[in-house]
Amino acid sequence: MADHALLLPSDIERAGRTPSGPGRPKDLAKRAAILDAAKALFAREGFAGVSMDRIAAEAGVSKLTVYSHFGDKESLFSESIRTLCEEMLPDEFFKVQADGTMRGQLFQIAEAFFGMAVSDAAISTHRIMVTPGQADQNLRRIFWEAGPKRTHDSFAAFLRTAMAEGKLDIPDVDCAAKQFFSLLKGELYGRMMCGVCDKPNAAEMSAHLEATVDMFLRAYSPR
């Protein structure tokens, strides 16, 4: 009672209510809608072929809302690449599990990475990055840092943790990370980029991933 005596009636009324925060979920929903629209449009039509007006219309929001969330088109492109990579290759995959085998974790990372690399969105975006007139040097740098570099750095951190726990023995972690992803892509990725072959079926993909992981472990398992 003594505590309540220090409060005004309006204070007591506010204390009895849990703030619903109607604006925040709405903002998050708009942000997600903008990113979904941007990922689809950038992958399909390239950076230069998509305007902020078009993204706003596709997302069902105003252009002002798009700018308030992302600032400019380059920032939105970067975030759309980062979000796509995070969705298909989550950060949790790069945490060494005490109760999991190294082979099992490497296969999980390999499977997610390969699925991301050969997805329609990734193939389309990579083609745009290497097509003259579609992307300048700054845009290629933005793409590299938001996508491939993020993946490389996360995997390198995973390898360093595994080494600290005695699960791997790697003289040059950055080199090993590059080797892993290069082996995963292999000739198959180049053929898909050129449009001369389709995606492998489940059995072919599994065989390719297992062979890559086994080769990596033969090179870097503790002696």
pLDDT digit string, tens, across residues 69-119? 999 999 999 999 999 999 999 999 999 987 789 999 999 999 999 999 988
- Statement: residue 46 has pLDDT above 70: yes
pLDDT, average across residues 130-159: 91
pTM exceeds 0.85 for this model: no
CA distance 108 to 104: 6
Tell me the CATH class for 18-83: mainly alpha
9 vs 122 pLDDT, higher one: 122
Taking residues 114-140, what's their average pLDDT?
Answer: 87
Helices (H) and strands (E) in the chain, counts: 12, 0
Two domains, one topology: 18-83 and 89-220? no
- By residue count, the chain amounts to 223
Alpha helix positions (H), 97-147: 102-117, 120-130, 137-146
Mean pLDDT for the chain? 86
Per-domain boundaries in the chain: 18-83, 89-220
Type and span of the H or E element at 78: helix 73-88
C-alpha triplet 91, 96, 99: angle, nearest 5°: 125
CA distance 34 to 59: 5
Question: What is the pLDDT, as a whole number, of residue 188?
Answer: 86
- Span 122-145, mean pLDDT? 88
CATH T-level topology, domain 89-220? Tetracycline Repressor; domain 2 (1.10.357)
